[in-house]
Amino acid sequence: MSNDNFLVHIENLCFDYDGRPVLQGIDMRIPKGRVVAIMGGSGCGKTTLLRLIGGQLRPTAGSVRVANEAISAMSHARLYAFRRRMGMLFQFGALFTDLSVFDNVAFPLREHTDLPEEMIRDLTLMKLQAVGLRGARDLMPNALSGGMARRVALARAVALDPALIMYDEPFTGLDPISLGVIGQLIRRLNDALGATSIMVTHDVQESLRMVDYIYFISEGRVAAEGTPEEVRASADPFVHQFIAAKADGPVPYHVPAPDMAAEFLGAAHV
Amino acid sequence: MKRSVLDLWVGFFVAIGIGALLFLSLKVSSFSGIDQKNAYTVSARFDNIGGLKAKSPVRSAGVLVGRVTDIRLDAETYEALVEMRIDSHYVFPADSFAAIYTSGLLGDQYVGLEAGSDAEKRLADGGNIKKTQSAVVLEQLVGQFLFNKAAEGQDTP
Amino acid sequence: MSRVVDLLRFLGGQVVNRVWRLGRASRFFLAVLLKSGAALLRFPLLLREIWFAGVLSLIIILVSGLFVGLVLGLQGYEILQRYGSAQALGTMVALSLLRELGPVVAALLFASRAGSAITAEIGLMKATEQLKAMDMMAVDPVARVVAPRFWGGVISMPILAMLFSSMGILGGWLIGVVFLGVDDGAFWSSMQASVDFRYDVWNGVFKSVIFGVAVSLIAVFEGYDSEPTAEGVSRAITRTVVTSALAILALDFVLTSFMFRGMP
């Protein structure tokens, strides 16, 4: 495939947090129009990766290019111009608590367009209709359930019809029904908008059902990758441990510690 | 909270704020009274100014006509040189008389101007008041009183 | 010996930390000023923050002002009575309120009512990733969230201070004239004769504007700089109230020594 078929190029991406390496040389290519999942254990740097793509963090080494432009080399104004074409769903929605559901979804439209109020109203109601919450427009965020808040945040993330949508743990803390609803919405919105989606998650089953491609990250590196079929058929011990949810495997159950016998017996002798 | 209700409250807030400012300016305080641009400066020498300070009032027949702007000691004559700005609405004859009085027994001190009789010459900007009377210093007054009493006692054995 | 070294190291660390935060706060202040243009032009945004900082502080300011005035009236009358000059009560009440108590006490109340609320609001927005989300939507949180709150506070503070002083003077009048029998005419005329609008009222208002800038800046900075956790936000709120109080009292001393030096 030629370069133009990929929206996001990540090359040898490294990132340190307070001197502790989080990402150590990630290579990824996200094809246009697809839904790609990035999976890995908690705290493996998945969210950091999204924030590097969005330009909220600067890489220690390596580069992130979106639409063939390096994010880390952009000026503030250029980055903001770019972000208007990106949508991001935060882990718990991050709805503005002082604004109603309607005003939350209308927020990007009001900030970035000079559209008359009637048109903003129509566009906002269309987005809310797409996530099935047109009837909840006057509620405040604290009156919403977790799943509803996530859907409102999704409507807000796609308010400006972005080319790239990023999802940070969209399934965390949802009941099975809400989880399925969000999964379908992500797929449907991606296809309807002709956008590209990157989803960071550790929910294996839902992801295998709806995404086009999966990257596994472990210890700051890409540990495995492939389409859902390839992943299911994979003999890779890491992938196998992850999918079958086994406690021990390449990802060890125990935090590295001194030998148990030595520690317990040693303590008794003191 | 509906937008219109919010607007109403902020409007109310600003309105009572303006009300407070009007109350403070009209009922509580007065302006210095002297328009600094339409005023002229005159000076006067006193042997003793007592407790007179810069910004003390200048009154004529009890009416505020100006303010003291500066007080210095003349290093040669050892007299106090008092400068004051007088509202240009008020014109005084050149031979006017300036004295330092106290408002009430313990009140602030002020300069009292008494108009002279010279109909020709007027006090102009930079002018000097020749006839002055110093402040009455309470300690001197009391001392004098005791001295007089003592003298009386000697006269009538 | 090593205890002394540890103590010195600890103190040095504390000092460096304070200076470091002061530098960050100054840079933040500059950024807020530079990004204030949009906030001042978008009237509805500013209106909401004036409501939040000003209108919601009204009750506490009015009630406290009244009580401070009542106390001043009682105490002032008791003292002035000894010198037979109870008619100077108006002057005493008005001058102490306009020059000192109005701006200072109103600012202290403002810091604990509105300042802490601003810190909590911004801190919670940070903790729940609302600020990050806004940044990802290409909306600058300093311009959209911080600047309107800052200016809302700066605008509200002098209005609140004037209301506090006015209520206090009315409280002094209530005690002095209505309950203790000071002559109504003497109360107001002695006040009017010795309170100068430019010198006393205006300097007091100027003080409260400075306090408004200081408290609002501390409140938005602590909120924006807070650790994005529940404990982090609550610590930031405490810091807002403590730092504001110290800043108000220190600034008051500096401003007073500039304003009321060698004057009658």
**For residue range C234-254, what is the model confidence (pLDDT) as tens digits?**
999 999 999 999 999 999 999
State how many domains chain C has: 1
Helix residue spans in C35-146 (DSSP H):
36-41, 43-53, 58-82, 89-95, 102-110, 116-127, 130-136, 141
Q: How big, in percent rounded to 5, are the helix, strand and coil portions of chain A? A: 45, 25, 35
Of B3, B6, B30, the CB nearest to C196: B30
Q: Does residue C169 fall inside a structural domain?
A: yes
Pairwise CB contact (< 8 Å): B20 & C200: no
pLDDT score recorded for residue C238: 95
DSSP B134: P
Taking CA atoms, B35 is separated from B39, B94, C236, in Å, by 7, 22, 49
Q: Show residues of chain B in contact with C166, CB under 8 Å.
A: 20, 23-24, 28
Quote the domain boundaries for residue C227.
35-259
Q: Which of residues 1-60 of A touch C (CB under 8 A)?
A: 54, 56
Pairwise CB contact (< 8 Å): C130 & A94: yes
Instruction: Tell me the one-letter amino acid at A132.
Output: G
Q: Does residue C191 fall inside a structural domain?
A: yes
Of B17, B54, B55, the CB nearest to C162: B17
Q: Does residue C18 fall inside a structural domain?
A: no
Q: How far apart are CA C148 and CA C45, in angstroms?
A: 6
Q: Pick out chain A residues at pLDDT < 50.
A: 1-2, 270
**C202, C261, B49, B138 alpha-carbon torsion, rounded to 10°:** 100
Q: What is the pLDDT of residues C187-238, one digit of tens each?
A: 888 888 888 888 889 999 999 999 999 999 999 999 999 999 999 999 999 9
Q: What is the pLDDT of residues A87-128, one digit of tens each?
A: 999 888 889 998 999 999 999 999 898 889 999 999 999 999
Q: How far apart are CA B92 and CA C245, in angstroms?
A: 53
pLDDT band at C261 (very low <50, low <70, confident <90, very high): low
Pairwise CB contact (< 8 Å): A81 & C137: no
Neighbours of chain A (3+ CB pairs under 8 A): C
Beta pairing, strands B57-60 & B63-73: antiparallel
Burial class (CB in 10 A: 0-12, 13-18, 19+), B66: buried
Nearest to A157 by CA among A130, A117, A119, A121: A130
Percent of residues, chain C, with pLDDT higher than 90? 71
Q: Is C138 left (phi over 0), alpha (psi -120 to 50) or beta?
A: left
Q: What is the pLDDT of residues B80-135, one digit of tens each?
A: 999 998 888 888 888 888 988 887 666 678 889 888 888 788 888 888 888 888 87
pLDDT score recorded for residue C264: 42
pLDDT score recorded for residue C221: 96
Complex confidence, ipTM: 0.82
Nearest chain C residue to A77, by CA: C138
* One-letter-per-residue 3-state SS of C102-128: HHHHHHHHHHHHHHHHHHHHHHHHHHC
Q: How far apart are CA C87 and CA C176, in angstroms?
A: 9
Which of B9, B18, B29 has the highest number of chain C CBs within 10 A, making it the mutation to test binding with C?
B29
Helix residue spans in B53-94 (DSSP H):
none
Neighbours of chain B (3+ CB pairs under 8 A): C
Contact B112, B101 (CB under 8 A): yes
Tell me what the mean pLDDT of segment C151-164 comes to. 96
Mean pLDDT for all residues in chain C? 91
Which of B13, B59, B64, B69 has the highest number of chain C CBs within 10 A, making it the mutation to test binding with C?
B13
Tell me what the mean pLDDT of segment B56-75 comes to. 87
Q: Is A8 left (phi over 0), alpha (psi -120 to 50) or beta?
A: beta
Q: Show residues of chain A in contact with C135, CB under 8 Å.
A: 56
Q: Show residues of chain C in contact with B110, CB under 8 Å.
A: none
Q: Å from A160 to nearest chain C CA?
A: 9
Q: What is the pLDDT of residues B12-61, one digit of tens each?
A: 999 999 999 999 888 887 765 555 678 889 999 988 888 888 778 888 88
In the predicted structure, residue C1 carries a pLDDT above the cut 90: no
pLDDT score recorded for residue C106: 96
pLDDT score recorded for residue A47: 85
Q: Å from A119 to nearest chain C CA?
A: 20
Q: Does B54 touch chain C (CB under 8 A)?
A: yes
Q: Show residues of chain C in contact with A98, CB under 8 Å.
A: 121
Q: Show residues of chain B in contact with C163, CB under 8 Å.
A: 16-17, 20
Q: Does A86 touch chain C (CB under 8 A)?
A: yes
pLDDT score recorded for residue C153: 95
Q: Show residues of chain C in contact with B4, CB under 8 Å.
A: none
Kindly list the structural domains of chain A, giving each domain's residue range(s) and its CATH number in brackets, ordered by start: 3-247 (3.40.50.300)
Q: Does residue C13 fall inside a structural domain?
A: no
Of A80, A92, A153, the CB nearest to C138: A80
pLDDT score recorded for residue B106: 63
pLDDT score recorded for residue C246: 95
Q: Å from B150 to nearest chain C CA?
A: 30
Nearest chain C residue to B67, by CA: C264
Q: Å from C154 to nearest chain B CA?
A: 13
pLDDT score recorded for residue A268: 54
Q: Which of residues 128-157 of C touch B (CB under 8 A)?
A: 156
Q: Does C17 touch chain B (CB under 8 A)?
A: no
Pairwise CB contact (< 8 Å): C137 & A83: yes
Q: How far apart are CA A135 and CA A261, in angstroms?
A: 63
Pairwise CB contact (< 8 Å): C51 & B106: no
Size of interface A-C (CB pairs under 8 A): 47
Pairwise CB contact (< 8 Å): B24 & C47: no
